[in-house]
C-alpha cells in the first residue's frame, strides 16, 4: 500500500454550499465568477450566490428538499451553476443528465434516480418532454431555463424572491449528486456522492491543481460529468477564479474563446489534446495566455503531452479519477517536471492506493527500482462514493471490506510511487495468452503524422483467441494505408502486440468525457462478422 506524498487535509463537516460560498468577502463578491464564452455575458460571485439562494427558495416553496431528486439536463452555460448549487442549497439531490441523452435514455435515468423534477433548456426540450412523458412527469415539474410555452423558466423562479430555506442534514450521508457511470463497461448505475465526498475532493486537490483567483478557466468539459463538476465548477469557484463556459466542442470556437477571453488554465480530454498538438488551425490564434493544461478522463500519451507543451509553451499534466471517486485520486503535481507525462502521477492528499495481482489477488509491492508488474488499482479515501443507488451487490463488488474501491483499471507503479495506467481490466486483449493493452497501441498510433485519431479493440481470432484491430482516422491530406499502419506498429512493439487488421473510419466513437466507446466498436465488428 502506498499513500499520498502530501499530508492529509482536514475535511469540515459542512454542506457544499457552505463550503463554497459562506466565506465570500466583499472583494470576492465583486469578482467575475462566470462568463458565457459565446456571448460574453458575465456573472459576479455576488449575483451567483443571490441566484442560488433565490432558486433554493423557489424550490423549497414547491416542496423540494431533503429526499427530493431533481434532474439537471443542461450544457455548459452559466445558469448551470445557479441551478446545480440551488438544488443542493435546497437540500435536494441533483442527478445530472448527459446533454446528448435520448428521451428514452433520460427517462431510464430519471426513473432509476426517482427524480420528480427536471430542469432543461429549450434546444434540448424535445428529448426532455419525451422523457417526462415516458415517466409521467407533469409540465409544471419541467423547468426550461431559457423559457418555453407551458413551462416555468429560471427567470420566473428567481423572480419570486423567496428566501433560501433552513435545511439540516449530515454531509457525510446526504447524497448531493447522483451522476450515472458512463456505461462503457456495463449498465449505467447511479453513483451516490455525498456533500462530504465533494468537499473532500476539492480540498484533496489543493496541492496538485494550482488554480488561482486570477485564473480564467475554460469550462468545456461538461459540468454534468463529475470531471467538469468537481475539477471545473467546484474547484474554480472555491478558488474564486473565473469560469469561461463553452456548451459544445468546436475547435475554431474553442481557440477563439481561449484567445479572446485570455484563458489561462485548460482542462481537457485527450482528443482535445490531439487537436491542439496537431491541427494547423491552432497556429492562427494567440494562445499565449495559457499557462497550464491538465488532461484527464482517458489515457494521455507522453509524446503527445510533450508536443502539446512545446506547441503552446504551457505546463502539461495528467490526472486520473472516476465518477465513483468524486472523481480525482491521482495527479502529476505542478512542480514535478521529473514525472513522466505518460503517468497519472501520485495519489492526492488523504488517498491510499494499492495494486492487486489480477490472477492471484496478492498485493504488489513498491519496486526497489523500475516499474512493478501490472495489477488492478485500488483506492481508499474520503472521496470514495457512498455506493451505487439500489445496487448493493454491485457496491459490495466495487468497495471491499477494507474500504478500498476496485477501479477496474490495470496499473503499474515505479519505485517513486508514480503510477501508470495500463488499461481497463476488461479491455485487455489476450493474444495467445499475452496481455495486450489497447491504450498502449493507441498512444503509439497517435505518434504517426498521418493518423489523427485511433482506437484499438480485440477481435476474435481462430489461432490466437483474440487479435488487435485498429480503427484509424486519417489526418487531413493523409493517404496512409492499412499495410503502412501495421508496419509502423510492428516496428515499435513486441510481436504479440502487433495490429493484425486496420479499418479506416471518419471518427472514433467517444463519450462526452473523452473515453473511447469500445463497446460501440465491438458491436460494429460483431454486426459485420459473417453469419
Going residue by residue through the chain, which has 531 residues, state the pLDDT in tens, using 9 for 90 and above.
899 999 999 999 999 999 999 989 999 999 999 999 999 999 999 999 999 999 999 999 999 999 999 999 999 999 999 999 999 999 999 999 988 888 888 999 999 999 999 999 999 999 999 999 999 999 999 999 999 999 999 999 999 999 999 999 999 999 999 998 743 345 678 999 999 999 999 999 999 999 999 999 999 999 998 999 999 999 999 999 999 999 988 999 999 999 999 999 999 988 788 889 989 999 999 999 999 999 987 777 888 899 999 999 999 999 999 999 999 999 999 999 999 999 999 999 999 999 999 889 999 999 999 999 999 999 999 999 999 999 999 899 999 999 999 998 999 999 999 999 987 776 778 787 676 878 889 989 999 999 999 999 999 887 778 899 999 999 999 999 999 999 999 988 878 889 999 999 999 998 877 888 888 998 898 888 776
User: To which residue does cell 410555452 refer?
Assistant: 149
> Could you tell me the three cell numbers for 68?
427530493
Sole residue written with cell 443571490: 50
Reading phi first (left if > 0) and then psi (alpha if -120 to 50, else beta), residue 64 is in: beta
DSSP for residue 340: -
Give residue 184's pLDDT: 34
The beta strands (E) that lie in 178-232 are given as 191-194, 216-219
Give me the torsion for CA of 325, 330, 331, 333, rounded to 10°: 120
pLDDT at position 183: 34
Q: Phi and psi dihedrals of 367, rounded to 5? A: -75, 155
- Positions of E strands within 273-327: 292-295, 315-321
Using a 10 angstrom Cβ sphere, with 0-12 exposed, 13-18 middle and 19 or more buried, the burial of residue 189 is buried
Q: What is the CA radius of gyration of the chain?
A: 23
- Spatial distance between the Cα atoms of 251 and 230, rounded to a whole number of angstroms: 24
Residue 433's pLDDT is what? Answer: 65
**Cα three-residue angle 61-67-71, rounded to 5 degrees:** 80
pTM value is 0.85
Distance between CA atoms of residues 298 and 515, nearest Å: 6
Give the CA count within 13 Å in the CB-facing half-sphere of 310. Answer: 9
| CA–CA dist 292, 252 (Å, integer) | 20
Report how far apart, in Å, the C-alpha atoms of 343 and of each of 97, 282, 324 are: 31, 26, 21
Which candidate, 264, 274, 257, places its Cα nearest to that of 220? 257
Of residues 174, 88, 71, 183, the one with CA closest to residue 129: 71
Contact 349, 204 (CB under 8 A): yes
Residue 332: Cβ within 10 Å count: 27
Q: Cell numbers of 87, please?
A: 438544488
The dihedral built from the CA positions of residue 519, 252, 233 and 206, taken in this order, carries a sign that is positive
Hey, which residues does 420 pair with through a beta bridge?
Answer: 412
- HEC sequence for 431-455: ECCEEECHHHHHHHHCCCCCEEEEE
Give the dihedral of Cα atoms 282, 284, 285, 286; nearest 10 deg: 110
Residue 355: closest CA among 365, 367, 347: 365
Residue 334 phi/psi, 5-degree rounding, is -60, -35
Which domains are assigned to the chain? Answer: 1-12+195-427 (3.40.50.12780), 31-169 (3.40.50.980), 429-528 (3.30.300.30)
Would you list the DSSP string of 14-55? Answer: --HHHHHHTT--HHHHTSEEEEETTT--EEEHHHHHHHHHHH
Amino acid at each position: 500500500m502506498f499513500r499520498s506524498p502530501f499530508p492529509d487535509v482536514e475535511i469540515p463537516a459542512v454542506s457544499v454550499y457552505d463550503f463554497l460560498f459562506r466565506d465570500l468577502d466583499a472583494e470576492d463578491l465583486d469578482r467575475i465568477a462566470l462568463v458565457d464564452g459565446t456571448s460574453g455575458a458575465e456573472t459576479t460571485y455576488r449575483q451567483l450566490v443571490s441566484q442560488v439562494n433565490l432558486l433554493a427558495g423557489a424550490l423549497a416553496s414547491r416542496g423540494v428538499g431533503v429526499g427530493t431528486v431533481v434532474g439537471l439536463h443542461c450544457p455548459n452555460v452559466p445558469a448551470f451553476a445557479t441551478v446545480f448549487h440551488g438544488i443542493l442549497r435546497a437540500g435536494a439531490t441533483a442527478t445530472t443528465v448527459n446533454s446528448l441523452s435520448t428521451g428514452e435514455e433520460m427517462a431510464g435515468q430519471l426513473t432509476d434516480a426517482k427524480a420528480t423534477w427536471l430542469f432543461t433548456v429549450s434546444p434540448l426540450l424535445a428529448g426532455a418532454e419525451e422523457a417526462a412523458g415516458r415517466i409521467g412527469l407533469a409540465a409544471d415539474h419541467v423547468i426550461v431555463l431559457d423559457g418555453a410555452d407551458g413551462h416555468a423558466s429560471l427567470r420566473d423562479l428567481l423572480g419570486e424572491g423567496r428566501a433560501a430555506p433552513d435545511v439540516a442534514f449530515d454531509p457525510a450521508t446526504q447524497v448531493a449528486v447522483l451522476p450515472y457511470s458512463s456505461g462503457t463497461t456495463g449498465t449505467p448505475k447511479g453513483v451516490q456522492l455525498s456533500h462530504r465526498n465533494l468537499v473532500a475532493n476539492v480540498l484533496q486537490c489543493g496541492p496538485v491543481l494550482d488554480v488561482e483567483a486570477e485564473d480564467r478557466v475554460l469550462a468545456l468539459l461538461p459540468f454534468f460529468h463529475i470531471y467538469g463538476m468537481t475539477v471545473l465548477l467546484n474547484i474554480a469557484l472555491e478558488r474564486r477564479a473565473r469560469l469561461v463556459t463553452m456548451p459544445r466542442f468546436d475547435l475554431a470556437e474553442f481557440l477563439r474563446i481561449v484567445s479572446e477571453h485570455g484563458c489561462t488554465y485548460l482542462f481537457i480530454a485527450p482528443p482535445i489534446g490531439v487537436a491542439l498538438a496537431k491541427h494547423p488551425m491552432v497556429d492562427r490564434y494567440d494562445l499565449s495566455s495559457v499557462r497550464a493544461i491538465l488532461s484527464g478522463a482517458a489515457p494521455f500519451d507522453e509524446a503527445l503531452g510533450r508536443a502539446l507543451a512545446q506547441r503552446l509553451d504551457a505546463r502539461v499534466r495528467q490526472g486520473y479519477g472516476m465518477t465513483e471517486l468524486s472523481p480525482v485520486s491521482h495527479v502529476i503535481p505542478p512542480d514535478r517536471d521529473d514525472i513522466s507525462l505518460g503517468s497519472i502521477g501520485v495519489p492526492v492528499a488523504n488517498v491510499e492506493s494499492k495494486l492487486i495481482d489480477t490472477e492471484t489477488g496478492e498485493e504488489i509491492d513498491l519496486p526497489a527500482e523500475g516499474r512493478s508488474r501490472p495489477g488492478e488499482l485500488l483506492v481508499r479515501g474520503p472521496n470514495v462514493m457512498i455506493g451505487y443507488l439500489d445496487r448493493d451487490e454491485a457496491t459490495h463488488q466495487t468497495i471491499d471490506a477494507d474500504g478500498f474501491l476496485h477501479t477496474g483499471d490495470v496499473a503499474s507503479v515505479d519505485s517513486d510511487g508514480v503510477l501508470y495506467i495500463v488499461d481497463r481490466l476488461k479491455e485487455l486483449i489476450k493474444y495467445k495468452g499475452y496481455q495486450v493493452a489497447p491504450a498502449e497501441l493507441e498512444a503509439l498510433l497517435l505518434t504517426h503524422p498521418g493518423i489523427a485519431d485511433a482506437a484499438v479493440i480485440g477481435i476474435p481470432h481462430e489461432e490466437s483467441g483474440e487479435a488487435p484491430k485498429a480503427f484509424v482516422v486519417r489526418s487531413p491530406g493523409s493517404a496512409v494505408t492499412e499495410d503502412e499502419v501495421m508496419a509502423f506498429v510492428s516496428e515499435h512493439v513486441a510481436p504479440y502486440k502487433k495490429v493484425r487488421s486496420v479499418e479506416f473510419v471518419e471518427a472514433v466513437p467517444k463519450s462526452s468525457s473523452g473515453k473511447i466507446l469500445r463497446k460501440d466498436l465491438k458491436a460494429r465488428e460483431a454486426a459485420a462478422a459473417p453469419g
